[in-house]
Amino acid sequence: MSAPVRLADARHLIDGREVDSVSGRTFATIDPSTGTELARVAFGEAEDVDRAVQSGRRAFQAGSWSRLSPGERAKRMRRLADLIHADADRIGAIESRDTGKPLGQATAEVHVGADFLTYFAGHAELPDGRTYPVDAGYFVYSKREPYGVVGAISPWNYPFLLACWKTAPALAVGNSVVLKMAEQTPLSTSELGRLALEAGIPAGVLNIVHGDGPTTGASLVAHPHVPKLTFTGSTAVGQAILRSAADHVKSVHLELGGKTPNLIFADADIDQAVAGSLFTAFYNTGQICTSGSRLLVERSVADRVIAAFVERAGRIRVGDPAAGGTQLGPLISAEQHARVTGYIAEGLREGATLALGGGRGAVEGSNGYYVEPTIFTGVRPGMRIAQEEIFGPVLSVITFDDEEEALRIANDVMYGLAATVWTTDLRRAFRVAERLEAGIIWTNCPHYLPVNVPYEGHKLSGLGEDLGIEALQTFTHLKTHAINHGGGSMGWA
Ligand code: NAI
Ligand code: MG
């Protein structure tokens, strides 16, 4: 068990300066591995959000970034990436404390965040328009333009990485950004803000306001001068944002929850399938929107798969995020701990069989928010543990008899984010992918998501394209210009 640690307090970043809230209000961010206060953080209210938005708007209108040459924008974004790589160990240590992620994992994610900036820097210089065949004497072209101020709201499961994921494409095409990070994990984003200034991203272009959802997040969503919103988080909040955005007819990009099916067919390479399924079920303590939280396995291989799976899951090392060799840290918060253990109780109540876990495991006695890898077998598809996003290391195992039944169970949830398939039959891989209701399908490669590959949630899992070249559309709107250069005069004489 680790001793309580304290880190530097965090303030907002508005117009290039670190500032307290106008009200002076602060809140605590907690170290999930000990349950103790890690730092105090400025709590943003409507007035603070307004200052951040106005600062973003001023920068946008002044053109310090939006009209900077694309090559120069790209250069500064690459410089930011370099600064992040150079500082990744320090930022990773902060991230690990604030999130409970194993140290090595947290640091690796900081590097991935930097890679997003490098990749999207290139987007600044991509061609962005079309011309259209029209009448003689006319010329019509369309181009993509930045919206102005993009409001970005992010969750706690990948704080630094998601801060880069959200800001990189928005900045590349010339927007300003106001970032509202999750209240559980604000600290690493403040580091991003500092380095952005150092990299030459002008004051006011990237603003950060800390605080909660109902006050800080909702103020950003409701602000009339934020025409574009990008949100990652729960489906319920995404729906609330969509409703609120109607008042100003805002464009909304949403990446929401999931209940990813992980299908193992009898023809799979079983060893590879078990290893990959363990990873997708439990990585990041199951706190990923695309976690393979439903293991659907063909009946003829079910006993063998489950036995191997339970045996290996029992060997996953849960513990202190700062200790070398730890694979799973705690959950993010006391709330999430209560929620996840509530689902475990619900699974038992619904009659599923607890094949592994259910408690804190080896970290019994710690005040951290630990839950050990937990596996339910004998799960029926209609059970709550098989339908709802648990967001913890809790796996529901369901058996199926044939491909038809597998697809029916896989698709019978409100979510449609991702699906993983294990098979060595290429025909089956294509056939099944055609019919799975999911935005991304991984055959024999869970969570495989290079930065240039796009991604979009189906059903209640999201709205709008993310990553890849598609992100250019998401963070720009269309402007069309028709020119009469000799086509005769138009109108009434
Ligand atoms: P949440 O959706 O409430 O929070 C995500 C972000 O939205 C945070 O920055 C929060 O401050 C903000 N927010 C909350 N209410 C808001 C509002 N009314 N207006 C504007 N912003 C608002 O997620 P929470 O409560 O942290 O986790 C609950 C569940 O949500 C998890 O158990 C999981 O099932 C799901 N979730 C899914 C994520 C994903 O990546 N798809 C990430 C985080 C949570
Ligand atoms: Mg924290």
pLDDT in tens, 213-267: 999 999 999 999 999 999 999 999 999 999 999 999 999 999 999 999 999 999 9
Rounded distance from Cα 237 to ligand 1 centre (Å): 6
Active site residue 255: yes
Whether residue 294 contacts residue 386, with contact meaning beta carbons closer than 8 Å, is answered with: yes
pLDDT for position 2: 57
The Cα–Cα gap between 329 and 32 comes to 9
- CA-to-CA dists, residue 389 to 392, 415, 450, angstroms: 9, 9, 24
Q: Find out whether the beta carbon of 185 lies less than 6 Å from any atom of ligand 1.
A: no
Q: Which of 185, 234, 390 to mutate to test the pocket of ligand 1 (most atoms within 8 A of CB)?
A: 234
> How many other CB atoms sit within 10 Å of the CB of residue 148?
20
pTM for the structure as a whole = 0.97
pLDDT of amino acid 473: 93
Question: For residue range 390-429, what is the model confidence (pLDDT) as tens digits?
Answer: 999 999 999 999 999 999 999 999 999 999 999 999 999 9
d(CA 266, CA 439): 24
Spatial CA neighbour of 98 closest among 207, 190, 233:
190
Does residue 225 come out as left (phi exceeding 0), alpha (psi in the -120 to 50 range) or beta?
alpha
Is 455 close to ligand 1, i.e. is its CB under 6 Å away? no
Per-residue pLDDT, 253 = 98
Rounded to the nearest whole angstrom, what is the distance from the C-alpha of residue 289 to the centroid of ligand 1?
A: 11
Angle at the Cα of 377 from the Cα atoms of 373 and 382, rounded to 5 degrees: 110
Q: How far is the CA of 257 from the centre of ligand 1 (A)?
A: 9
Mutating to test ligand 1, I would choose from 45, 215, 237 the residue with most ligand atoms within 8 A of its C-beta, which is 237
Cα 341 from Cα 161, distance rounded (Å): 27
Instruction: Report the chain's C-alpha Rg in angstroms.
Output: 24
183: annotated active-site residue: no
Looking at the CA of residue 255, tell me the nearest atom of ligand 1: 41
Ligand 1 atom at minimal distance to the Cα of residue 236: 2
CA of 191 to the centre of ligand 2 (A): 15
Among the listed residues 297, 302, 278, the one whose alpha carbon sits nearest the alpha carbon of residue 410: 297
| Residue 183 Cβ < 6 Å to ligand 1 | yes
Q: Which of 95, 183, 191, 255 is catalytic?
A: 255
Q: Take residue 490 and report the two structure tokens written for it.
A: 């138009």
| pLDDT (0 to 100) of residue 199 | 98
**Cα separation, 343 vs 389, whole angstroms:** 10
Q: What is the pLDDT, as a whole number, of residue 484? A: 96
Which ligand has the minimum distance to the alpha carbon of residue 33? 2
State the residue for tokens 């709550």. 384
Q: From the CA of 256, which ligand is nearest?
A: 1
Task: Specify the pLDDT at position 489.
Answer: 87
Mark the ranges of the chain whose per-residue pLDDT is less than 70: 1-3
Q: Which residues touch 303 (CB under 8 Å, ≥6 apart)? A: none
Asked if residues 138 and 482 have their Cβ atoms less than 8 Å apart, the reply is yes
Does residue 38 line the site of ligand 1, with CB under 6 A? no
